């Protein structure tokens, strides 16, 4: 009997899982529902190299899938719903695809507040199409307003300044990159952007947009300030793409809830990547991680656990433990973060001569749980190994 595996989502996690499944389950049919009109592509470069025209669309494409491609069907439609009783995925065009196993890898979508929608010249950045639209809008040398001081907002602001554009960044908090770096570096990011010519408005609340003939003309703040703008890019965070799972019985809570093996609350259904909220054995807590390295590794891990369940090869079945890692390049500065700093009770800042830039170590109950550094890749990756080793020792005790 030929089994059918459906992978929902054209993300990196989906790509990694399909490649692994093709190798591990050679007698199964794989249906990859990508929801994308493009081939699978690399997203980290969208806000940096691609936005700065240092690479093109062809440079972003991920490697093709190898193996018996006669067993692989790629569908560009999106998933509309999941019918667990019929063990099938319903596509946006009404087609039903039955499955023996399903991997949910539908990722996350950009959060766009209602007041920012439906106006020309206002864009989020999550997909390649978003990036192309923004890049095409730069030809007229517009004045740019960036809404949001997280990773996407700061990377976009840095790219726009690198291109010589006038940029204003509006952030509700009093610091930049607060969530990813836990405020450990104080004014470092503020100074970095100001020194490179970005006008920062901290504690700013966007109230509405000024519009001229359907196109953005400015951003109005709650304090009455109006910022002229011909282009607005939005970095207001993201939300997991779980809407299509409503009523399916798959547990959802800020992502698809999974165990350590990336299995969901429904038999034969797994999840991976930005959409998955799994129990990470390294930390003993549930977390949802939206980072490139996690998506790649998690997609492969989910595929191995699916293959184990389908083929009985239990040597493939392993819990997925990971020390999250992400990086950012802004104005030539290499910014890195490893681990999970949420819930830390102590942070140590190192500005000694041993580190090329500021370095932060995060602790919880005396255990190193995260580290961040500027221009210190060797030290940061060494600390990542330390976090992994200490976790293994704790689990073995």
The phi, psi pair for 151, rounded to 5°, reads -60, -50
Contacts of 184 (CB under 8 A, 6+ apart): 341, 347, 349, 360, 362, 372
The proportion of the chain whose per-residue pLDDT surpasses 90, expressed as a percent, equals: 89
Contact between 52 and 159 (Cβ < 8 Å): yes
State the average pLDDT over residues 109-138. 96
Nearest to 194 by CA among 171, 210, 172, 219: 171
b/e string for 370-397 if b means 16 or more Cβ within 10 A? bbbbbbbeebbeebbebbbeebeeeeee
Rg (CA), the chain: 22
Using one digit for the tens of pLDDT, what is the confidence trace for 126-151? 999 999 999 999 999 999 999 999 99
State the average pLDDT over residues 244-267. 97
Distance CA 335, CA 146 (A): 20
Contacts of 191 (CB under 8 A, 6+ apart): none
pLDDT for residue 219 is more than 90: yes
State the average pLDDT over residues 200-227. 96
**Domains of the chain with bracketed CATH:** 4-109+239-316 (3.50.50.60), 112-236 (3.50.50.60), 332-391 (3.30.390.30)
Distance CA 66, CA 61 (A): 15
Mean pLDDT value across the chain? 94
State the average pLDDT over residues 79-87. 91
Using one digit for the tens of pLDDT, what is the confidence trace for 284-321? 999 999 999 999 999 999 999 999 999 999 999 999 99
pLDDT for residue 356 is more than 80: no
Distance CA 110, CA 43 (A): 13
Strand-pairing partners, residue 327, are 336
In sign, the C-alpha dihedral spanning 51, 159, 112, 134 is negative
Q: Are strands 333-339 and 346-350 parallel, antiparallel or unpaired?
A: unpaired
The proportion of the chain whose per-residue pLDDT surpasses 70, expressed as a percent, equals: 98
Residue 85 tokens, joined? 């009783």
pLDDT for residue 353 is more than 90: no
Contacts of 131 (CB under 8 A, 6+ apart): 46, 47, 50, 51, 125
Residue 362 tokens, joined? 């995060």
pLDDT for residue 14 is more than 80: yes
Distance CA 202, CA 207 (A): 15
pLDDT for residue 9 is more than 90: yes
State the average pLDDT over residues 326-331. 94
Distance CA 206, CA 85 (A): 45
Residue 205 tokens, joined? 């609340």
Using one digit for the tens of pLDDT, what is the confidence trace for 362-373? 999 999 999 999
Distance CA 17, CA 281 (A): 21
What pTM value is reported for the model? Answer: 0.94
Contact between 325 and 24 (Cβ < 8 Å): no
Distance CA 215, CA 235 (A): 19
pLDDT for residue 221 is more than 70: yes
b/e string for 93-120 if b means 16 or more Cβ within 10 A? eeeebebbbbbbbbbbbbebeeebeebe
Rounded (10°) CA dihedral 25, 28, 34, 35: -150
* DSSP characters over 120-189: BTEEE-SSHHHHHHHHHHGGG---EEEE--SHHHHHHHHHHHHTT--EEEEESSSSSSHHHHTTTTTTHH
The phi, psi pair for 371, rounded to 5°, reads -155, 150
């Amino acid at each position: 009997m030929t089994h059918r595996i459906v992978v929902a989502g054209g993300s990196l996690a989906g790509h990694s899982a399909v490649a692994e499944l093709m190798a591990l389950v050679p007698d199964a049919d794989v249906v990859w529902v990508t929801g994308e009109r493009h081939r699978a592509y690399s997203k980290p470069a969208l806000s940096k190299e691609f936005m700065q025209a240092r690479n093109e669309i062809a440079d972003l494409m991920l490697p093709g899938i190898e193996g018996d491609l006669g067993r692989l069907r790629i569908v560009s439609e999106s998933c509309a719903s999941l019918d667990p009783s019929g063990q099938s995925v319903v596509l946006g065009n009404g087609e039903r695809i039955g499955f023996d196993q399903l991997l949910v890898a539908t990722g996350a979508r950009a959060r766009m507040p209602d007041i920012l929608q439906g106006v020309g010249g206002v864009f989020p950045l999550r997909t390649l199409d978003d990036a192309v639209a923004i890049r095409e809008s730069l030809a007229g040398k517009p004045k740019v307003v960036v809404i949001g001081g997280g990773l996407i907002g700061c990377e976009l602001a840095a790219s726009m300044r690198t291109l010589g554009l006038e940029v204003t960044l509006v952030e509700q908090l009093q610091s930049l990159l607060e969530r990813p770096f836990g405020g450990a570096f104080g004014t470092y990011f503020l100074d970095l952007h100001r020194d490179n010519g970005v006008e920062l408005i901290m504690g700013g609340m966007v109230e509405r947009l000024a519009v001229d003939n359907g196109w953005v003309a400015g951003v109005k703040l709650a304090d009455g300030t109006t910022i002229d703008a011909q282009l607005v890019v939005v970095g207001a965070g993201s939300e997991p793409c779980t809407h299509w799972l409503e009523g399916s019985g798959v547990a959802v809570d800020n992502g698809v809830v999974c165990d350590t093996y990336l299995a969901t609350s429904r038999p034969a259904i797994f999840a991976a990547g930005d959409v998955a909220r799994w129990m990470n054995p390294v930390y003993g807590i549930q977390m949802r991680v939206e980072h490139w390295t996690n998506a790649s590794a998690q997609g492969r891990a989910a595929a191995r656990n699916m293959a184990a369940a389908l083929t009985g090869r239990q040597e493939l079945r392993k819990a997925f433990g990971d020390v999250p890692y992400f990086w950012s390049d802004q104005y030539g500065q290499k910014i890195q973060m490893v681990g999970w700093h949420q819930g830390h009770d102590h942070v140590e800042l190192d500005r000694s001569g041993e580190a090329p830039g500021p370095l932060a170590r995060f602790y919880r109950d005396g255990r190193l749980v995260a580290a961040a550094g500027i221009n210190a890749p060797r030290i940061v990756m060494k600390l990542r190994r330390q976090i992994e080793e200490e976790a293994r020792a704790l689990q073995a005790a």
